[in-house]
Structure 1
Amino acid sequence: MSAGLTALSTGFQGFARYLGGLLGADAYTKYLEHHRASGHQEPPLTEREFWRDRTDRQDANPQGRCC
């Protein structure tokens, strides 16, 4: 029974990561990884600044999105 619950939990976590990726929930993490890998000298945006900037850019340049 425990192995079944572990497999179910692992499957659910994988699905949640996949769904989060589709919805853009991991965008800030990807931004930080890119920022580090690119060797920027300035500090990265805070998470709040990142989401504000992303929303402002989407509002200024609307593209094919549902909402």
Structure 2
Amino acid sequence: MTAAPRRAAAWLRWYVTELTGENAYARYVERARAADPAAAVLSRREFERRRTDDRYRDPHSGHYRGCC
């Protein structure tokens, strides 16, 4: 592979992972360790669980609103 297609493939991979939110955990770990290297970091499973709960929580009442 030459340099241009490799760069294009790397950019496409970055774009897709950003679009789908796959990089969210990596960014969380990076920020958490930068803030306090000795602090515990959530597991991927716990991080995703909290992220999902936050997404479906009603911002006005703070209660879980489910799906629709």
Question: Is TM more than 0.5 here?
Answer: yes
2:34 to 27, 33, 37: 37
In 2, distance between residues paired with 1:13 and 1:42?
32
In 2, distance between residues paired with 1:61 and 1:42?
29
1:1-67 aligned within 5 A: 2-3=1-2, 7-39=4-36, 41-61=38-58
Letter of the 2:54 partner, please give it. R
Relative distance call for 1:40 and 1:61 in structure 2 (3 A) is farther
User: Between Structure 1 and Structure 2, which shows a larger proportion of helix residues?
Assistant: 1
In 2, distance between residues paired with 1:40 and 1:8?
37
Letter of the 1:55 partner, please give it. T
Could you list the runs of 5+ residues in structure 2 that have no partner in the other structure?
60-68
TM-score (norm 1): 0.71
Corresponding pairs, count: 59
TM-score (norm 2): 0.70
Could you list the runs of 5+ residues in structure 1 that have no partner in the other structure?
63-67
